[in-house]
Chain A
Amino acid sequence: MQKETIIPESRDNAFRDLIINTPGGENIPACMQCGICAGSCPVSHEMDYTPRQLVRMIQLGLKKEVLNSNTIWICTTCFSCSVRCPRGIHPTELMETLKPIAMKEGIRNKNAKFDTVFADVVKKNGRAFEFLLISKYSISEPGMIKQAPFGISLVTKGKLPLSIDKMDDTRELEAIFKLGEENDSQETEK
């Protein structure tokens, strides 16, 4: 296999420092590339870079490659890597950190779309009302039509109510979801 040379110009130290300074990111420089994370990961075979590789890429400041990797989105958030890492790095939490950064950089995919729809449904109703969630997501994902028989089987069993489940009073949600917007403006100020 041909090896790629990493040239200094492709390294972004500001990106590296940004990630290291996020909660849980402080141990990233200590990674010794043991690979326990990749070995524990149930889905690393589908990733373009394993969690071990991704951590190394962050050490090297390879911003573009990190944010464009499918690793962030393939992760099932099972935390197997996080509880096993002997250096106290939390790769699952790292994926959570990278998701909003990638989305801000314009990365769009099914998972990003689903998360956006999910957050929107919760912001408006306070509950992850499943029927609304799936309907809204399906509008932008025509492939979801294949899931219609599955949806019907759930409805038949009384497991997918069609009448909305929401909080009686949703007023507090606006302030809660504003916390995310404040984060954005804090970052711009920096």
Chain B
Amino acid sequence: MKYSYYPGCAQHGTAVDYRMSVEAVMSRLGIELEEIKNWNCCGALHVDDRSTRVALSARTLAATKGLDVATPCNLCYSNLMRANTALEDSDLKNRVNGALATKYESNSKPKHLLEVVVKDLGFMKLAEHVKKPLKIKAVPYYGCLLTRPENKFDSPENPKSLDDLIAAMGAEPVKYYYKTKCCGGPILITNEDLALELAKDLLVMAKDSGADCMVVTCPMCHLQLDAKQKAVEAKFNIRIDMPIIYFTQLIGLAMGIAPAELGLDKHLVPTDKFISKAGR
């Protein structure tokens, strides 16, 4: 299984733990990720000009040599999906191609790494790699942009893929009504009060569910829920202490990979109690 790989900017910074777990897990699962040379930022949610934003993703999609393009980031995934749709407009496509050295052809399919694991690899194959079923309860948190505004693999209202992945690792996915409610990540810098309020709602419900961790698929959600958790606790005078685990870290733990290799010591919310409870 080979994919063109688009890591996204966060993998080189705040999501170094995600990067480590992706590298540790994917090769062992037999998923080959060929990183796009000289890749560029997708513009996230902050390049306001539409043609420019579409062109940034078109350049990525043009560099995939016909392979499907896998990305670990919800924002990147959403931008790639949206660009593919926007470029069905031939006027826009011609203008965008005028700016690109390698022209965009609509032959590459963007896939989030979660989709690669649960759909392309599949649970049967994945189960063969589980050495230590995890004895924990976990919140499946999908965030916004994995399933909205468009995706080809799960429901935007009640997605199940991450629930099923958690179960496949031997863990119990808890019932969680805020699966796809916004964490506030995109407004963290410019409207912190509101961003922390959104994060608080998610964290409190996670705590009340009795879960041992929240599982995420997006570096922005992780930054908001892990790195900013202390700020939430301080602002609302509450105790949360909820480890936020990338889905790749969860798979890694179940495969018996050492926590440090998965970057679990790089979180701001300590993960040691969680790791010992998970059965290591």
Identify the A interface with B (CB < 8 A): 23, 42-43, 46, 73-74, 76-80, 82-83, 90, 92-93, 96-97, 99-100, 103, 110-111, 114-115, 118-119, 122, 126-131, 134, 137, 150, 153-154, 157-161, 165, 167-169, 172-173, 175-180, 182-183
Contacts and interface: CB of A to CB of B under 8 A. Distances in A.
Contacts of A92: 149
B130 interface: no
A118 B38 contact: no
Interface stretch (B21-29, B41-49, B115-123, B204-212): B41-49
A172 B99 contact: yes
Given A80-B148, A80-B182, A165-B9, A43 B48 contact: no
Nearest to A100: B48
A110 to B, nearest CB: 4
Residue of B9, B185, B266, B268 with most chain A CB atoms under a 10 A cut-off: B9
Contacts of B266: 157-159
Interface residues of B, number: 58
B189 A134 contact: yes
Contacts of A23: 50, 86, 89
Nearest to B100: A172
Contact of A83 (B59, B95, B100, B156): B156
A179 B51 contact: yes
A118 B47 contact: yes
B14 interface: yes
A99 B45 contact: no
Interface in B230-255: 231
